[in-house]
């Protein structure tokens, strides 16, 4: 039997897991499609691609386009988001209920914490600063430096930076992309129901546990 030693690492997805960011993502994506004179996808469809990096996300929403157009639209999305920030048009991205308490409880129990997100470095930094969470995480992985989820690169580097082994690492997320990434990296996968994919999808993608409220996360993780 292999005994895992070393620190325990809990890696959180951001959009749909830590914060409710759907309003800003949907608005920026709608502006992106309008700039290309395309009909915007439904907000339900937009929510389903949250968590992916921009180019593959846009490719799913506009499969008729070519790579060059998807890249152009990704830059348009970034520009739309920057304009919303400059014009103070961004809606608040609130922490989901119980998330801050769960983070504090895990840290107090000795867990090292990280984030793996499709956001940019700048977007994640600003969000963590806004919520006073910057000092809570020992590793931050974003789309700026990795292939899109479900590629395991984010988790692999997070584990190296935190000094953690796969057997003592858990990925916490709201989408099948998060669960598939966890499976590809060989770590535990915990799904949350308050985000953008259904519990059945999370289980099908590899979630070993699905939690209904952030307040139950510490107990679930202690049972792994």
pLDDT of 128-170, one tens digit each?
999 999 999 999 999 999 999 999 999 999 999 999 999 999 9
Question: Does the active-site annotation cover 101?
Answer: no
**Which domains are seen in the chain, by residue range?**
9-20+93-222 (3.40.50.1000), 22-86 (1.10.150)
Strand partners, 114: 11, 139
> Which is nearest to 17 in space by CA: 222, 179, 167?
179
Lowest model confidence (mean pLDDT) among 4-8, 165-169, 177-181, 217-221 = 4-8
- 13 catalytic residue (yes or no): yes
Mean pLDDT of 33-59: 96
Neighbours of 214 (CB within 10 A): 22
pLDDT score for 2: 46
CA atoms in the 13 A half-sphere facing the CB of 213: 5
Contacts 24+ apart (CB under 8 A), 119-124: 119/14, 119/15, 119/143, 120/78, 120/144, 121/145, 123/81, 124/14
Mean model confidence pLDDT for the chain:
94
Is residue 176 classed exposed, middle or buried when 0-12, 13-18 and 19+ CB atoms within 10 A define those classes?
buried
Write down the pTM of the prediction: 0.91
DSSP 4: -
């Amino acid at each position: 039997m292999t005994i895992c030693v070393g620190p325990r690492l809990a890696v959180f997805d951001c959009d749909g897991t830590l914060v409710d960011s759907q309003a800003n993502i949907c608005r920026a994506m709608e502006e992106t499609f309008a700039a290309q004179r395309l009909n915007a996808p439904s907000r339900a469809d937009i929510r389903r691609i949250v968590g992916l990096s921009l180019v593959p996300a846009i490719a799913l929403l506009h499969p008729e386009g070519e790579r060059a157009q998807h890249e152009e639209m990704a830059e348009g999305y970034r520009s739309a988001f920057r304009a919303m920030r400059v014009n103070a048009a961004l809606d608040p991205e609130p922490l989901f209920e119980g998330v801050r308490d769960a983070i504090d409880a895990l840290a107090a129990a000795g867990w090292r914490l990280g984030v793996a997100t499709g956001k940019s470095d700048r977007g994640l930094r600003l969000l963590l600063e806004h919520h006073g969470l910057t000092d809570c995480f020992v590793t931050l992985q974003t789309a700026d430096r990795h292939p899109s989820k479900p590629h395991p690169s984010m988790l692999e580097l997070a584990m190296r930076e935190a000094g953690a082994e796969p057997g003592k690492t858990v990925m916490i997320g709201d989408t099948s992309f998060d669960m598939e990434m966890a499976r590809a990296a060989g770590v535990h996968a915990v799904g949350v129901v308050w985000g953008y994919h259904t519990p059945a999808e999370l289980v099908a993608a590899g979630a070993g546990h699905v939690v209904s409220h952030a307040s139950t996360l510490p107990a679930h993780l202690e049972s792994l």
